[in-house]
């Protein structure tokens, strides 16, 4: 027959394990799926993006621009990741032209206008927007300045060409930063 002390100890251990399992399952569930694929907080931006069925064009572009090594690096990076559908909004032939080796500099400029050298979660971005009176300038590593605003509960970004993207999936944690999925390609001023 178990003593009261043994029973309390085993009950506390079971409760602790249940709490740990619940916390672990919550932490794993906290990262949203992207493009039908699970996103892992212990993988890099490039590793996770490569698994997303919605980001095949972005991954091809990152490879063509030789940015895969950089975006696999330590970071931290915030990447506003346009979907294949976002790239499809560009004029016909644009993506194919940008992927040509002779256009690598232009492609690199466009891609780096989607990257910020920080780990910026959506609540922090929303806070900066509020602190700045409704619009916050976001300086990218490509030298572009995006204007972040709120549209209801959604964060939007307006590029230097006047195009606006909506963050459709926020806060996808990576080992070297965070991805926010967007529905429009951000372009530098021409």
Predicted structure pTM score: 0.82
What is the domain-level CATH number for residue 56? 2.30.180.10
In whole numbers, what is the pLDDT of the chain averaged over residues?
Answer: 84
Q: How far apart (Å, rounded) are the C-alpha atoms in residues 80 and 183?
A: 9
Residue 19 lies in a domain: no
Q: Is the pLDDT of residue 27 over 80?
A: no
Is residue 2, in this structure, part of any structural domain at all? no
Percent of the chain with pLDDT over 70: 85
Domain total of the chain? 1
Paired tokens of 127 = 């806070």
The alpha carbon dihedral of 154, 38, 139, 75 has a sign of: positive
What pLDDT, in 10s, does the model give residues 65-104? Answer: 999 999 999 989 999 999 999 999 999 999 999 999 999 9
Q: Is residue 98 part of a domain?
A: yes
Sheet of 115-116: strand order equals 115-116, 77-82, 177-182, 164-174, 154-158, 145-151, 136-139
Q: What pLDDT is recorded for position 25?
A: 37
> Where in the sequence is the domain holding 84, given as residue range(s)?
31-182
pLDDT in tens, 135-188: 999 999 999 999 999 999 999 999 999 999 999 999 999 999 999 999 999 999
Q: Could you tell me if residue 86 is inside a domain?
A: yes
What DSSP string describes the chain?
---HHHHHHHHHHHHHHHHHHHHHHHHHHHSPPBTTB---TTS-HHHHHHH-TT-HHHHHHHHHTT-HHHHTSS--EEEEEE-HHHHHTSPTTHHHHHTSGGGHHHHHHHHHTTEESS---HHHHHHHHHHTTS-EEEE-TTS-EEEEEEETTEEEEE-TTS-EEEEEEEEEEETTEEEEEESS------
User: What is the mean pLDDT of the segment spanning 22-43?
Assistant: 65
- Has residue 113 been placed in a domain? yes
Which of 19, 99, 103, 88 has its CA nearest to residue 61?
99
Cβ-based neighbours of 171, under 8 Å, separated by 6 or more? 32, 121, 122, 178, 180
Domain membership of residue 129 (yes or no) is yes
Residue 125 lies in a domain: yes
As a residue count, the chain comes to: 190
Report if residue 15 sits inside a domain.
Answer: no
């Amino acid at each position: 027959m178990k003593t009261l002390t043994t029973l309390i100890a085993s009950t506390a251990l079971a409760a602790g394990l249940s709490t740990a399992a619940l916390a672990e399952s919550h932490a794993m569930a906290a990262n949203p799926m992207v493009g039908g694929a699970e996103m892992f907080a212990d993988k890099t931006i490039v590793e996770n993006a490569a698994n997303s069925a919605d980001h095949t064009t972005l991954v091809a572009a990152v490879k063509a621009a030789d940015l895969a090594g950089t975006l696999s690096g330590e970071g931290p990076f915030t990447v506003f990741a346009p979907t294949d559908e976002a790239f499809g909004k560009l004029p016909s032939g644009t993506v194919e032209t940008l992927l040509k080796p002779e256009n690598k500099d232009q492609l690199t400029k466009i891609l780096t206008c989607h990257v910020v050298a920080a780990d910026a979660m959506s609540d922090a971005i929303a806070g900066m927007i509020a602190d700045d009176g409704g619009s916050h300038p976001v300086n990218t590593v490509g030298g572009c300045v995006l204007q972040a605003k709120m549209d209801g509960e959604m964060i939007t970004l307006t590029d230097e060409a006047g195009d606006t993207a909506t963050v459709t999936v926020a806060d996808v944690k990576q080992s070297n930063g965070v991805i926010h999925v967007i529905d429009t390609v951000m372009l530098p001023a021409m």
